[in-house]
Structure formats: structure tokens, C-alpha cells
């Protein structure tokens, strides 16, 4: 009989070790498969008009859990928000709000004089607050239309119900109501149903104003009869679900129809031309008499002009990156600043340290804010000079410079990334504002 050599014994031990490792691995895989299966296990059939996120949460607890975290308030260098405690009153039961941008930068009060924005304008915060912040802003004092509710609540069910199954009809009905009547038809902030089809969880656009707006934009670039829910790619949908709300808008006509000014394109000059052609104005400046436009949160429009849009990075890639929970890869439904999760948001594409990436963002933002401040000072100074020269023979031309310069500056000021979404485009639009202010000052001094 051959004697067992020590190498044989070693071989036996090694293969036994490998075998048991395989067994442990197999068990582990089985366990994780089950975990994945249970994750998709439907405990409930979700109705096509279910707007309560808690009900969807029974089937998709992980996404629901993250969605609830949008109540968190955390400041980044130039984004996020601060939680400011306040004493609740009968008129406004909020126990915390975010910081006032008017207190942070009083130049805004001069720029928007005569308009509701000069009374109350705060830092935006998480989706969980969208409905209550709109209900209690002092900007409600002027009597807003139901149109406001389009981007501040889960509106799909309300529109389908009001329109007897026709979304577009329900949309028009909601717009026409006074705000506080419209608000009775909604219950929740943006919810699962506003971005998903409950039957298959596919992404879905539910805002009629966006469906019409993106159709007119596509037409301007030669694509006819665009139907977003049928023709958009999955990558486009990862931008469009956000672009339903994070865009510049106005209320059209007596019907107060929510409308996106995209017939000529998405750039600042395209929407300015649109408004100028129809002689639209949001308000008349109290000191200069100019009929002005207020731009609001054009995140989608500015992003569209930047390198990340050109490279196919979507809002969702940065603001709702994939994350792992056990063996499951999910989309992070805690929508917030990417600087609070740089690793997941940026390192999928950029092989740099988190510190380095954050420093790059902050550096872009600080250069941007420096440029914006220069233009803001120039506009405030022009407003003062113009208000002291109301009898100037070329007053209408001077007011036209004010109108256009205001729109360009506001388009950039109102955009919430502090330049990051498209730094060079933001700088270019600021320069256009500066150029108009310079021309206005030139004319003022020539014919005094
Ligand atoms: C390449 C990554 C990237 C993409 C793509 C992107 N963003 Fe951002 N976004 C950022 C960064 C970085 C900031 C700055 C955050 C900060 O200062 O804390 C930001 C800021 C914002 C803010 C302000 C957040 C805050 O906390 O102040 C909003 C709102 C926003 N983005 C919406 C969008 C929308 C909508 C889209 C798509 C149309 C989009 N973003 C596309 C990276 C991105
Ligand atoms: C097209 C979509 C849209 C419509 C319509 C809309 N909002 Fe908003 N609103 C947003 C978005 C996006 C934000 C977050 C970004 C920001 O604050 O710039 C926001 C933020 C706000 C905030 C919190 C920050 C602040 O400005 O103090 C208030 C309050 C608000 N909106 C009130 C209103 C009122 C009042 C109306 C109607 C006159 C209205 N909204 C109509 C999309 C919309
Ligand atoms: C139904 C309209 C709507 C949709 C859809 C929507 N948002 Fe918002 N978003 C808002 C409003 C309104 C606020 C401001 C809420 C407030 O200040 O009370 C906001 C706030 C934010 C903020 C600031 C969060 C913070 O913590 O400071 C970010 C970032 C953001 N949205 C990104 C996105 C992205 C990315 C998408 C798409 C996945 C998206 N939003 C879809 C309306 C919308
Ligand atoms: C503002 C839009 C938006 C809202 C609101 C929203 N989602 Fe999503 N959800 C997305 C996006 C974007 C994806 C990624 C889909 C893709 O890439 O095809 C996603 C993916 C998912 C998925 C697929 C698995 C995954 O994690 O990628 C599930 C399940 C899901 N969401 C559940 C929910 C639930 C439950 C709610 C409500 C509590 C909700 N979502 C609210 C935008 C949204
Ligand atoms: C889906 C991939 C993708 C994601 C996610 C992404 N980037 Fe990028 N980023 C790119 C590409 C591609 C470029 C263009 C660079 C090139 O072509 O060499 C770029 C360019 C940049 C630039 C230089 C351009 C400029 O605007 O000055 C910075 C800074 C940057 N990214 C930061 C970030 C940060 C911060 C995040 C996370 C919040 C992020 N990126 C997320 C793909 C991505």
C-alpha cells in the first residue's frame, strides 16, 4: 500500500476547503436570489389611479423608504437647504422652513420690486415639502390660480377624475380653479404615480404641459408629431420625468393654462423671443415702469446645453444614482444634492476621489457666483439710474434693455445648480445680460 504523502493530504484539505467554500457561496447566492424575488413579490395589486405612496410602498418598500427621506434638510457649500425652526401659527402651521433667499441677498428685492417674489422667496428643499411650502408661501397672498398645483402635488389622479378619464380635460379644469379650490383635489406631494405606470413600473410622463411643450420643442428641431410616452428612449425618460416640473413656465391666457415657452428652442434667447413676440409680461417694475419677465428654475433647459447632456448623463444618474441594498441594485429615491452622495453619483463615470470631484463642483460654482454677482450689481445700479430718469426721451428703449437684461440674469439666478449643469452656457447668458445693461447705460448717458 502506498503511503499517503503530505502533498496528498494537503490536496485533500484544499479541495475540501474549496468545496465547502462553494457550498457557502451557493447558499449565499440562493439566499440573495430569494431576497431579490421577495423584493419583487407583489403583496398588492396597485390601482391605475392610486396616488398614495404608502400603498405602492407595500410592493416596493426599499424605494418607498428612500422616498420618505426627502424630508431631510442638509446644506452643501452652495446647495441643499438649511432647516430654520419657526413657531407655527394658525395661518402657517410649518414648524420649520428653509432659509430666505431675500434675506441672504437683498438685491433680489430691488430686482423684483412690485412682484410677489419680492415678498417671499426661499431656498428650495426636498420633494416631501412641495405641497405645504406652496400652500403657505406669502406669494399666495395675491390670489394664485390652480395652475400652481401642477408641479407641487401628485396631480394625475385629480386630473383623470376631473376629466372623466381624459387627462387633458382634467388639466384644463384644474388650471382654471382658484388655487385653494384646486388644492382640495390633491393629497400628496409628487408620488410614485407621477413617474411610473403601476402596471409595469415603466417610467411615464403625466404632465400635459410637458407633453405639449416637448412636442413643440421637438418640432422646432424638425421632429413632427412627437408623442413623448411612445417615442422617448429610456435614457430620455430619465430626464423627462424631472423636466415635467424643473423648467421655466408661464400661465397662458384667461384660462391660465400652464405652458412651457419652447416653440423656438430651449436656450434663454429662444424663450425670450417667444415672450417678446407675444408681448407677455409677468409684472411691471415698481421703479422703472418696465414690463418684466420672471424666469423660474430652468434646470432642464440649462442642463440641455451642457457637457453632461451631450454625454448622455441624465438627471437620474446624478440625483437618483443606483445603490446596493444587500444583493439588490436599486434606484435611490432620496432625490437630493449629488454632493451628498458623490461616490454613487459621479464615480460611476469619473475615476477621481470624492474630495477631488466635490472640489471641482465647488470651484465651478464659485467662479459662476462671482460672475453672477457682477451682473447683479450692474442690474441693480441700472434700475436705480433708470428710476431716476423716468422722463428720458428714449424711456421705452431703456425699459426694453431692462426687460431683456432682467430675463437673462434671472434665467441664470433661478437655475438651482449654481452654474454646474452647464458652466459655459451660464457664463454666456450672463454676458448677454451685461451687454444689454451696458447698452442701456450708454443710451442713458448720451441723451440726458
Ligand atoms: C452630472 C451630474 C448632474 C446632472 C446630469 C444633473 N444634475 Fe442637478 N445638480 C448636480 C450638482 C453637482 C448640483 C449642485 C448641488 C449642490 O450645490 O449641492 C446640482 C443641483 C441641482 C438642483 C439644486 C439642488 C440643491 O440641493 O440645491 C436641482 C433642483 C437639480 N440639480 C435638478 C436637476 C435636473 C432636473 C436635472 C436634469 C434635467 C439635473 N439636475 C441634472 C449634478 C447634476
Ligand atoms: C412648472 C412647474 C411649477 C409650477 C407651475 C410652479 N412651481 Fe413652484 N416650484 C417648482 C420647482 C421645480 C421648485 C423648486 C426649485 C426652485 O425653488 O427654484 C419650486 C419651488 C417653489 C417654492 C419653494 C421655494 C420658493 O420659491 O420659496 C414655492 C413657495 C413655490 N414653488 C410656489 C409656487 C407658486 C405660488 C406657484 C404658482 C404661481 C408655483 N410654485 C408654480 C415648480 C413649479
Ligand atoms: C411634480 C413636480 C416635480 C417633479 C416631477 C420633480 N421635482 Fe424636484 N422639486 C419639485 C419642487 C416643487 C421642489 C421644491 C420643494 C420645496 O422647496 O418645497 C423640488 C426640489 C428638488 C430638489 C431639491 C432637493 C433638496 O433637498 O434641496 C432636487 C435636487 C430635485 N427637486 C430634483 C429632481 C429630480 C432629479 C427629479 C426627477 C427624478 C425631480 N426633481 C422631479 C418639483 C418636482
Ligand atoms: C420623480 C420621479 C419618480 C418618482 C416620484 C418615483 N420614482 Fe421610482 N423610479 C424613478 C426612476 C427615474 C427610476 C429608474 C427607472 C429606469 O431607469 O428605467 C425608478 C425606478 C423605480 C423602480 C424599479 C427598481 C429600481 O429601484 O430601479 C421601482 C420599483 C420604483 N421606482 C418604485 C417607486 C415607488 C414605490 C415610488 C413611490 C414611493 C416611486 N418609485 C416614485 C423615478 C421616480
Ligand atoms: C454617466 C456618466 C457621468 C456621470 C454620472 C457624471 N459625469 Fe461628469 N462628465 C462625464 C463626461 C462624459 C464628461 C465629459 C468629459 C470628456 O468628454 O472627457 C464629464 C465632464 C465633467 C466635468 C468637466 C466638464 C465641466 O462641466 O466643466 C466635471 C467637473 C464633471 N464631469 C463632474 C461630475 C460630477 C461632480 C458628477 C457627479 C455629480 C459627474 N460628473 C457625473 C460623464 C459623467
Task: Check whether 447 has a pLDDT greater than 80.
Answer: no
Query: What is the structure's pLDDT at 88?
Result: 96
142 located within any domain: yes
Q: What confidence score (pLDDT) does residue 32 get?
A: 46
**In ligand 5, which atom is closest to the CA atom of 361?**
35
Residue 376 located in a structural domain: no
Query: 212: CA distance to ligand 2 center in Å?
Result: 20
- Name the strand (E) or helix (H) holding 252: strand 250-252
Q: Which three cell numbers stand for residue 335?
A: 432625490
- Which atom belonging to ligand 3 lies closest to the Cα atom of 134? 18
User: What CA dihedral angle connects 388, 392, 397 and 403, to 10 degrees?
Assistant: 10
What's the N-to-C CA distance of the chain in angstroms? 119
Q: Structural domain of residue 141, as residue ranges?
A: 53-341
Please write the tens of the pLDDT for every residue from 112-138. 999 999 999 999 999 999 999 999 999
CA of 258 to the centre of ligand 3 (A): 18
Is residue 448 a contact partner of residue 392, using CB atoms and an 8 Å limit? Answer: yes
- Assess whether the C-beta atom of 122 lies below 6 angstroms from ligand 2: yes
Which of 259, 299, 334 shows the shortest CA–CA distance to 415? 299
User: Sorting pLDDT into bands at 50, 70 and 90, what band is 381?
Assistant: very high
Pairing relation of β-strands 283-284 and 291-292? antiparallel
Is the distance from the beta carbon of residue 307 to the nearest atom of ligand 5 less than 6 Å?
yes
What's the average model confidence in pLDDT over 180-209?
Answer: 97
The length of the chain is 448
Cell triple for residue 432?
Answer: 448677454
Establish whether residue 127 lines the binding site of ligand 2, counting it when its CB lies within 6 angstroms of any ligand atom.
Answer: no
Q: How many domains does the chain have?
A: 1
| Among 155, 245, 318, residue to substitute to test ligand 3 (most atoms within 8 Å of Cβ) | 245
Q: Is the pTM of this model over 0.85?
A: yes
Between the CA of 21 and the centroid of ligand 5 the distance, in Å, is 41
Q: 358 in ligand 3 pocket by Cβ < 6 Å?
A: no
Confidence of residue 27 (pLDDT cuts 50, 70, 90): very low
Name the band, by pLDDT with cuts 50, 70 and 90, for residue 43.
confident
Which atom from ligand 2 is nearest to the alpha carbon of 120? 27
The answer, yes or no, to whether residue 315 has pLDDT greater than 90, is yes
**Atom 43, ligand 5: residue with shortest CA distance:** 349
pLDDT tens by residue, 390-419: 999 999 999 999 999 999 999 999 999 999
For the CA of 345, the closest atom of ligand 5 is 37
pLDDT of residue 31: 44
Residue with CA at minimum distance from ligand 4 atom 30: 63
> Which whole number is the average pLDDT over 215-232?
98
pLDDT at 11: 55
Does 424 reside within a domain? no
C-alpha 444/C-alpha 432 separation (Å) is 19
Helix (H) or strand (E) holding 378: helix 354-387
Give the integer Cα–Cα distance in Å for 330 and 324. 6
Ligand 5 near 345 CB (within 6 A): yes
435, pLDDT greater than 50 = yes
Distances (CA, A) of 416 to 109, 272, 300, 342, 359: 18, 19, 10, 18, 18
Q: Mean of the pLDDT values across residues 189-203?
A: 97
pLDDT of residue 8: 59
Mean pLDDT, the chain, rounded, equals 93
Cell of 182: 384646486
347 lines ligand 1 (CB under 6 A): no
User: Cα dihedral sign for 173, 245, 217, 402?
Assistant: positive
Q: What is the 205 CA–ligand 4 centroid distance (Å)? A: 13
> Which pLDDT score is estimated for 348?
95
* pLDDT in the model for residue 177: 97
288 lines ligand 1 (CB under 6 A): no
Q: Is residue 214 part of a domain?
A: yes
Looking at the CA of 325, name the nearest ligand: 4
Answer whether residue 99 is part of any domain.
yes
Note whether residue 30 is domain-resident. no
For residue range 235-292, list pLDDT tens digits in order.
999 999 999 999 999 999 999 999 999 999 999 999 999 999 999 999 999 999 999 9
Q: How confident is the model at residue 35 (pLDDT cuts 50, 70, 90)?
A: very low
Q: Is residue 283 part of a domain?
A: yes
- CATH code, domain with 277: 1.10.1130.10
Say how far apart CA 101 and CA 117 lie, in whole Å: 10
DSSP code per residue over 231-242: H--HHHHHHHHH
Residues with Cβ within 6 A of ligand 4? 53, 56-57, 60, 63-64, 67, 190-192, 194-196, 201, 203, 234, 238, 241, 316, 320, 330-331, 333
Buried b (16+ CB within 10 A) or exposed e, 237-261: bbbbbbbbbbbbbbbbeeebbbbbb
Lowest mean pLDDT among 38-52, 60-74, 146-160, 174-188: 38-52
Q: How far is the CA of 431 from the centre of ligand 2 (A)?
A: 27
Residue 89's pLDDT band (boundaries 50, 70, 90)? very high
How far is it, in rounded angstroms, from Cα 334 to Cα 340?
11
pLDDT band at 21 (very low <50, low <70, confident <90, very high): low
Flag whether 301 is in a domain.
yes
Band of residue 446 on the pLDDT scale cut at 50, 70, 90: confident
How many percent of the chain have pLDDT more than 70? 90
Amino acid at each position: 500500500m502506498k503511503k499517503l504523502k503530505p502533498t496528498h493530504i494537503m490536496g485533500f484539505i484544499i479541495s475540501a476547503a474549496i468545496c465547502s467554500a462553494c457550498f457557502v457561496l451557493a447558499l449565499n447566492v440562493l439566499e440573495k436570489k430569494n431576497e431579490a424575488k421577495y423584493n419583487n413579490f407583489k403583496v398588492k395589486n396597485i390601482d391605475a389611479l392610486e396616488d398614495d405612496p404608502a400603498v405602492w410602498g407595500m410592493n416596493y418598500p426599499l424605494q418607498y423608504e428612500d422616498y420618505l427621506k426627502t424630508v431631510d434638510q442638509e446644506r452643501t457649500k452652495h446647495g441643499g437647504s438649511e432647516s430654520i425652526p419657526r413657531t407655527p401659527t394658525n395661518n402657517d402651521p410649518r414648524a420649520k422652513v428653509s432659509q430666505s433667499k431675500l434675506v441672504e441677498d437683498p438685491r433680489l428685492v430691488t430686482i423684483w420690486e412690485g412682484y410677489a417674489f419680492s415678498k417671499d422667496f426661499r431656498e428650495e428643499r426636498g420633494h416631501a415639502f412641495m405641497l405645504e411650502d406652496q400652500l403657505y408661501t406669502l406669494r399666495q397672498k395675491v390670489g394664485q390660480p390652480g395652475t400652481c398645483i401642477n408641479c407641487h402635488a401628485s396631480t394625475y389622479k385629480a386630473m383623470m377624475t376631473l376629466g372623466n378619464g381624459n387627462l387633458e380635460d382634467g388639466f384644463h379644469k384644474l388650471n382654471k380653479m382658484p388655487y385653494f379650490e384646486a388644492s382640495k383635489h390633491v393629497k400628496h406631494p409628487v408620488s410614485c404615480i407621477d413617474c411610473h405606470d403601476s402596471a409595469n413600473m415603466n417610467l411615464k410622463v403625466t404632465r400635459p404641459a410637458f407633453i405639449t411643450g416637448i412636442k413643440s420643442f421637438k418640432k422646432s428641431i424638425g421632429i413632427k408629431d412627437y408623442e413623448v410616452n411612445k417615442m422617448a428612449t429610456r435614457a430620455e425618460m430619465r430626464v423627462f420625468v424631472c423636466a415635467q416640473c424643473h423648467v421655466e413656465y408661464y400661465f397662458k391666457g384667461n384660462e391660465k393654462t400652464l405652458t412651457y415657452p419652447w416653440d423656438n428652442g430651449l436656450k434663454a434667447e429662444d424663450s425670450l423671443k417667444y415672450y417678446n413676440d407675444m408681448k407677455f409680461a409677468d409684472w411691471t417694475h415698481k421703479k422703472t415702469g418696465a414690463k418684466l419677465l420672471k424666469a423660474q428654475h430652468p434646470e432642464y433647459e440649462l442642463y440641455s446645453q451642457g457637457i453632461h447632456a451631450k454625454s448622455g448623463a441624465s438627471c437620474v444618474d446624478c440625483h437618483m444614482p443606483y445603490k446596493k441594498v444587500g444583493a439588490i441594485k436599486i434606484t435611490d429615491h432620496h432625490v437630493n444634492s449629488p454632493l451628498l452622495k458623490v461616490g454613487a453619483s459621479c464615480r460611476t463615470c469619473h475615476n477621481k476621489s470624492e474630495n477631488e470631484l466635490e472640489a471641482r463642483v465647488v470651484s465651478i460654482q464659485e467662479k459662476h457666483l462671482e460672475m453672477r454677482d457682477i451682473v447683479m450689481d450692474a442690474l441693480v445700479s441700472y434700475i436705480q439710474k433708470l428710476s431716476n430718469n423716468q422722463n428720458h426721451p428714449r424711456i421705452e428703449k431703456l425699459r426694453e434693455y431692462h426687460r431683456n437684461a432682467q430675463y437673462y440674469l434671472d434665467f441664470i439666478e433661478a437655475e438651482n445648480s449654481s452654474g454646474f449643469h452647464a458652466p459655459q452656457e451660464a457664463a454666456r447668458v450672463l454676458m448677454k445680460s451685461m451687454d444689454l445693461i451696458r447698452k442701456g447705460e450708454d443710451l442713458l448717458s448720451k441723451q440726458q
